[in-house]
Structure 1
Amino acid sequence: MDRVTIINTIGKKFQTQNIENGEYSYVQEAGGKEELVKALGREPLHVYVDIRFEYDDLVLLVETKQRFTKKDEKQLAEYVEIEKVLHYGKKIVAMLANTNNDKIKVWQTEVDDNHLLHNETVVDKITHYVKLFDVSKQNDREKVLKNTYDLNELLHKLDIDESKRSQFVGTNLLYIKDLVNKLGATRIDEDVLKSLNQQWSFLTESQIIEGVKSTLSNLLDGSENKTKKIELLQNNVLNDQKVKKLKKNDWIKILDTILMDIYRYIDADSSEGQDILNLFFIAFNKYTGKADKNQAFTPDHITDFMCRLVGVDRDKIVLDATCGSGSFLVQAMVKELADCRRGKTDEESVKLMKLVKEKHIYGIEIEEKAYGLATTNMLIHGDGNSNIKFGSCFDCKDFITNADPDIILMNPPYNAKPKGIPATYKTNWTKNEKNGTKDPTKGLVFIKYISDVIAEMNKEREKNNCPRKHVKMAVLLPVAAAIGTGTRIKEIKTQMLEENTLEAVFTLPDEIFYPGASACACCMVFTLGKPHRKSDGTIDETFFGYYKDDGFRKKKNLGRVEQFDIHGNSKWKEIEENWLKMYHNKKEIEGLTAMAEISGDDEWLCEAYMKTDYSILSEESFQQTINNYLSYLVKEGKVYES
């Protein structure tokens, strides 16, 4: 990038030059060489910085080179040192910029590895660099998670039903965010707390409730099915008798806690803040979902892994046709918003993020409580439209077609009632299967339906002389669906391979949904619209991963908890990188991965194909495997306890 473009982009009016050619001399600024040496305590090697900007208490130093090297960092570091001596107390950002390409390196306060800003890859307006020092909010993951537990305890003492706490907290958080924005507060401190408490002191309990409702109504303007969403909010949360019994002091205590112990430690405008918001909502679901063993809230680290498997980025439209509380959609949106910042200026990022929020995230949910949670969850993350459809995915073909997804992420019901499944998928079912209480396909019928919708979309594309679209799908299904001993399961597995490619199957850790559902799950990855058997008759091998150890451990009242090494590093992060590397490189590793050609009649699990190193087996692990298998047989009704 040439010098003139750099100056104009950052802001010419903020450039401070005190010698010819637009440079800045520290000798001139100090009043002479002797004065500079005296102030610095030594004779400097470099005294002329290429471009210097100043905005209030911020100084931005830019040194341009044709192609900068490590040696140039030492030169820039000396300029920062001189700045601190001559302009004590100024906030400093230092930049190296190539003139023969757009590559830059940016440091905050010091020029060393610890202060390098890895995400700063493009030259931006000076106001962007001012925001780097904005401490109005701070992200503190540990405090948020600890305070989430304390908040749940408070709601328990105030007798708010467990099943309603998650959405109750979510809607109140939205109410607080709106009030803070209206105050124009740049930071959350005791003054903000005092101001809001004063407002609430003049309101009745019913007026506070009405304020929450009004906030949600405004946020949902232009949203799909706004009336239904408000109605559910009223019925499920605000009209609850225990919520109505809360006294004003109770309300103020709850709102104060959310404000000062949760929202205060989340900068929702940052990628990390979005991630913490997600953890907060998921943590609350953990506390409130223990009673329903049929609920399967997908763990955050698994949604992260699946998003990375299928390559979620700012250019992709994502659909979850059985979205539950919206965990996949939120994870996808967080990833897309983070990608919007990559290599873009603030102004460019804002436009991209608006597009992502309004046009890239789509969900469908039939269960009312989960639908309300998904809507609230998306709004908390700043979703601009909340494209969540209420109803059965089987009735939403037009919605799916109009969304035109690039990626499908799903965790469909494993035991859906057959009466809710369209007749076209039950033509070969027995009378008992049709009238039964559980889906004999173990959730496979949902992915077959999505596959059929994509197939119809591709037929229309071909009619219009457009190329077929390949859609990536990552789906969580019970291990029973992969083993495929049932007739209905084998039928759908065979049908799926006629139109789609099975790219991979990952056996996931036991009790992955603990403390909710108890099902053992696997993750299947398909490319929809690309037949498994190629036109020349050949078949690519499918990758299988035995991904049973994710570094998490069960902990009472908290579910499965992330573990850290002695240095405080996440074990999961290292494991996830290894999982992805093995998949992308298609590595066959004894006891972990395998490659195999498969058909619909085969087992779709790594255990059927991988080589095992029997030398590492112990009597204890053998007994545990037997116990697990026996437990599975009892659960499936193939063996009965006596």
Structure 2
Amino acid sequence: MSKNMTEDAVRDLARDILGLADSDAARAGVGQLTTFNQLGFAGVADKPDGWYLPKNKADVAFVLETKASRILLGQAQVDEVLKNVRIMQTQYEKVVGVLYNGEDVRVFKGEEEVKTPDKLQHLSYYLSLYTVDNIDKERIYQLTARINNCLHFEFGIKNLYHRMIFTACALVAERYGAGLKRLKNLGYATFHTAIHSTLSKSLIDSRKQNAKIDILLEEYSDIKMNTTDNQQAINDFIDWVVEISECVNSNEWRGEDVMGIFFNEFNRYKKKSEAGQVFTPEHITDFMYKILEVNMNDCILDATCGSGGFLVKAMANMIRESGGMKTKKASEIKSKQLYGIEFDREIYALACANMLIHKDGKTNLEQMDARTEAACEWMQSKPITKVLMNPPYENKYGCMTIVENVLDSVPTHTQCAFILPDKKLEKASKAQMKRILKNHRLRKVIKLPEDLFFGVGITTSIFVFESGVGQGGKEFFACYMESDGLATVKNKGRHDIYGKWASIESHWIDVVVKQSGDDTCQWVDPSEHLSYQMPQKPFEIFEEDFKKTALDYLMFQKGVDAKAFSEKLTDTAMYSSRVSTDDKTVTLIMQRGGDDVGKN
């Protein structure tokens, strides 16, 4: 590299390396004539050498300061780039500033200098400096508890789902540029209105595909809370929401659904008396995705989608397979390959929020009753290839009607996985199960760990059906995952604290796909059972059993009352004996006429 490059030459070189050019997502470029005022920063006459200004103010902005190659990058030059960073921070929470002279690079994340490669990198590298590279689950648990308590006791939101919806709306607003941290110390009204305003704007595009997504905004508006004067509580809530939002935006969200973890954790605060949904543990949604061998070309249905855990997990894994969020395929997956139904209005609002948080407001979500003919017609109109579901278990919610409707409404040969109570099929009406098995085939049953749904007291299995193909009396494969390796943590539910799940999951995926490889594997006749059958313990008899039976029979023959004889024998042993003790044992020495007659 020439040591005599002019500032113009350095600027042009930086433009090419960084890839600064206008796009649909952002204004970007280099120059020496454009002022910050022209870029939307009213009244600021300073001129940046390069800029990247995303339309979404929640995304990372970038500013470039260039110098001729002969100029060393000292404090005076640092002060220039930091001044431009501060200008951008009036509109963007996250700003990266780069100082460059064609040879040396100094990089600032906000106003803090960070260590980066010696050579100038592509813009995407610098934008990723704000990306969380790993997700601290324990931190999410802590934040969830703090948010729940804050909204309950400081904001006075008594309803659990309202607390969840309010938090989800704040997360959506942060995702779409509300810049919540800039609302600290501005009072309750400004804070509350900013979330509503940003939420409303974020729904504009999504309404074109799904008008019912407005329910989210309506639910937010209906939440009753105290207009708290506790500014510290508002500030704390903002900090916690922003921290969770950064985890959602992390590179790792593909493997761990942050919102799935968050919703599951939140749901633990539900009172036992409250009716509602059992949220599927995040690791089980992933397991079900894998045993159905879902791929990026599948179209997924969850007809009781709850907060959207199965759909988000499917979206995450499918996008990962497609090459990432920036691919054309990723856009198709989000807009054309995920279908969900949820009856409960509040839970439906959560599902909408979950999708919006993951930058997908256009998912095909419908608020309707999966038991109805209208729902069947809706499902029949979709190109479903796989079904992943955890329907409500109680008969009053129409559990088996939902299962039958789904099986009847998807194309023939569709693989459908349902989490249900172990004996649910056997307890269903005989007429209904006869009808289901006449038209569809139960292929596999995987009994899940008995402590999976911590505190709920329900034991469950995954039931895998193939639609449109009758059972015809054919046996189905069954197995029992006795443990998932998770452990119960006091007041925090069940977590993979020992890191066992990855190997356990790998084993069971292999067993389910090959239908062999574990001692619990069995083939079950559907005319006899419709669940995994726990093995009967083998019958064993010991010498003591034989002696007791023989003695009981002998006393019976002699007319001896066995109970009275046993009590008298015990009294004699206990109270007519000489007691001898040492450090570890107590010895009873039965006596008759002063002579020792035995020991016990």
Same fold (TM over 0.5): yes
Take 2:261 and 2:342, find their aligned partners in 1: how far apart are those partners? Answer: 21
Matched, 1:403 2:382: yes
Deviation readout 1:527-579 (Å, 9 max, x if unpaired): 2123334xxxxx75421011231122334432223230xxxxx1122111111
Of 425, 449, 461, 1:509 maps to 449
Distance change (3 Å), C-alpha of 1:128 and 1:147: same
SS across alignment from 1:531: coil
What amino acid sits opposite 1:585 in the alignment? Answer: K
Query: What are the equivalent positions in structure 2 for 1:173-184 lying under 5 Å apart?
Result: 173-179=171-177
Take 1:307 and 1:292, find their aligned partners in 2: how far apart are those partners? Answer: 30
TM-score by length of structure 1 reads 0.59
Deviation readout 1:76-98 (Å, 9 max, x if unpaired): xxxxxxxxxxx99899xxxxxxx
- CA apart distance, 1:307: 1.1
- CA apart distance, 1:170: 0.9
Structure 2: 5+ residue stretches without partners:
1-13, 19-63, 67-102, 108-115, 541-600
SS across alignment from 1:475: strand
What amino acid sits opposite 1:130 in the alignment? Answer: Y
Take 2:475 and 2:152, find their aligned partners in 1: how far apart are those partners? Answer: 52
Distance change (3 Å), C-alpha of 1:613 and 1:506: farther
SS across alignment from 1:549: coil
What amino acid sits opposite 2:199 in the alignment? Answer: L
Match in the other structure for 1:223 = 207
Of 149, 157, 170, 2:168 maps to 170
Matched, 1:152 2:135: no
Match in the other structure for 2:421 = 478
- CA apart distance, 1:201: 4.7
SS across alignment from 2:443: strand
Distance change (3 Å), C-alpha of 1:305 and 1:613: farther
Take 1:542 and 1:270, find their aligned partners in 2: how far apart are those partners? Answer: 37
Take 1:587 and 1:155, find their aligned partners in 2: how far apart are those partners? Answer: 49
What amino acid sits opposite 1:398 in the alignment? Answer: E
Match in the other structure for 1:444 = 400
What amino acid sits opposite 2:523 in the alignment? Answer: M
Distance change (3 Å), C-alpha of 1:553 and 1:274: closer
Take 1:290 and 1:381, find their aligned partners in 2: how far apart are those partners? Answer: 31
Take 1:294 and 1:383, find their aligned partners in 2: how far apart are those partners? Answer: 26
Take 1:408 and 1:320, find their aligned partners in 2: how far apart are those partners? Answer: 6
Query: What are the equivalent positions in structure 2 for 1:95-174 lying under 5 Å apart?
Result: 127=122, 130=125, 134-141=129-136, 142-158=138-154, 159-161=156-158, 162-174=160-172
- CA apart distance, 1:373: 1.4
Aligned 8 A contact 2:216 2:353 in 1: no
SS across alignment from 1:241: coil
- CA apart distance, 1:56: 12
Take 2:212 and 2:341, find their aligned partners in 1: how far apart are those partners? Answer: 14
Aligned 8 A contact 1:138 1:264 in 2: no
Aligned 8 A contact 2:132 2:251 in 1: no
Take 2:192 and 2:210, find their aligned partners in 1: how far apart are those partners? Answer: 18
Take 1:150 and 1:285, find their aligned partners in 2: how far apart are those partners? Answer: 14
Aligned 8 A contact 2:419 2:462 in 1: yes
- CA apart distance, 1:392: 0.6
Aligned 8 A contact 1:588 1:595 in 2: no
Match in the other structure for 1:493 = 433
Distance change (3 Å), C-alpha of 1:258 and 1:206: same
What amino acid sits opposite 1:527 in the alignment? Answer: E
Match in the other structure for 1:118 = none
Aligned 8 A contact 1:267 1:273 in 2: no
Distance change (3 Å), C-alpha of 1:403 and 1:493: same
Take 2:497 and 2:126, find their aligned partners in 1: how far apart are those partners? Answer: 34
SS across alignment from 2:362: coil
Query: What are the equivalent positions in structure 2 for 1:594-605 lying under 5 Å apart?
Result: 594-596=522-524, 598-599=525-526, 601-605=527-531
Distance change (3 Å), C-alpha of 1:527 and 1:363: same
Take 2:266 and 2:311, find their aligned partners in 1: how far apart are those partners? Answer: 17
SS across alignment from 2:366: strand
Match in the other structure for 1:453 = 409
SS across alignment from 1:400: helix
- CA apart distance, 1:603: 1.1
Match in the other structure for 2:235 = 252
- CA apart distance, 1:355: 1.0
Distance change (3 Å), C-alpha of 1:210 and 1:129: closer
- CA apart distance, 1:272: 4.3
What amino acid sits opposite 1:449 in the alignment? Answer: N
Match in the other structure for 2:249 = 267
Of 559, 573, 587, 2:516 maps to 587
What amino acid sits opposite 2:125 in the alignment? Answer: V
Of 280, 287, 298, 2:280 maps to 298
Matched, 1:214 2:197: yes
Take 1:246 and 1:543, find their aligned partners in 2: how far apart are those partners? Answer: 60
Match in the other structure for 1:412 = 391
Deviation readout 1:575-618 (Å, 9 max, x if unpaired): 1111111111111533x21123x33x32122226x686899xxx
Deviation readout 1:162-188 (Å, 9 max, x if unpaired): 3322111111111122226xx7xxxxx
> Pairwise CA RMSD of aligned residues?
3.7
Take 1:594 and 1:291, find their aligned partners in 2: how far apart are those partners? Answer: 38
What amino acid sits opposite 1:170 in the alignment? Answer: A
- CA apart distance, 1:12: 14
Distance change (3 Å), C-alpha of 1:555 and 1:613: farther
Take 1:585 and 1:612, find their aligned partners in 2: how far apart are those partners? Answer: 27
What amino acid sits opposite 1:151 in the alignment? Answer: I
- CA apart distance, 1:367: 1.2
Match in the other structure for 2:597 = none
Match in the other structure for 1:373 = 350
SS across alignment from 1:323: coil
Structure 1: 5+ residue stretches without partners:
1-10, 16-54, 58-86, 92-107, 110-125, 184-191, 418-437, 459-468, 534-538, 565-569, 616-642
What amino acid sits opposite 2:533 in the alignment? Answer: E
Match in the other structure for 1:547 = 481
What amino acid sits opposite 1:253 in the alignment? Answer: D
Take 1:506 and 1:288, find their aligned partners in 2: how far apart are those partners? Answer: 28
Give the length in aligned residue pairs: 430
Distance change (3 Å), C-alpha of 1:530 and 1:244: farther
Distance change (3 Å), C-alpha of 1:271 and 1:558: closer
Take 2:126 and 2:435, find their aligned partners in 1: how far apart are those partners? Answer: 54
Distance change (3 Å), C-alpha of 1:507 and 1:451: same
- CA apart distance, 1:244: 4.2
What amino acid sits opposite 1:309 in the alignment? Answer: I
SS across alignment from 1:606: coil
Match in the other structure for 2:502 = 573
TM-score by length of structure 2 reads 0.63
SS across alignment from 1:446: helix
Distance change (3 Å), C-alpha of 1:402 and 1:296: same
What amino acid sits opposite 2:385 in the alignment? Answer: D
Distance change (3 Å), C-alpha of 1:247 and 1:239: farther
Take 1:289 and 1:229, find their aligned partners in 2: how far apart are those partners? Answer: 28
Matched, 1:557 2:513: no
Aligned 8 A contact 1:472 1:526 in 2: yes
Match in the other structure for 1:338 = 320
Deviation readout 1:180-225 (Å, 9 max, x if unpaired): 6xx7xxxxxxxx94xx14xx555x6344333222322333333378
Aligned 8 A contact 1:563 1:572 in 2: no
Aligned 8 A contact 1:176 1:255 in 2: no
Matched, 1:316 2:307: no
Please tell me whether Structure 1 or Structure 2 has the larger radius of gyration of its CA atoms: 2
Deviation readout 1:475-499 (Å, 9 max, x if unpaired): 01112224x155x1x3333322323
- CA apart distance, 1:474: 0.4
What amino acid sits opposite 2:167 in the alignment? Answer: V
Aligned 8 A contact 1:363 1:387 in 2: yes
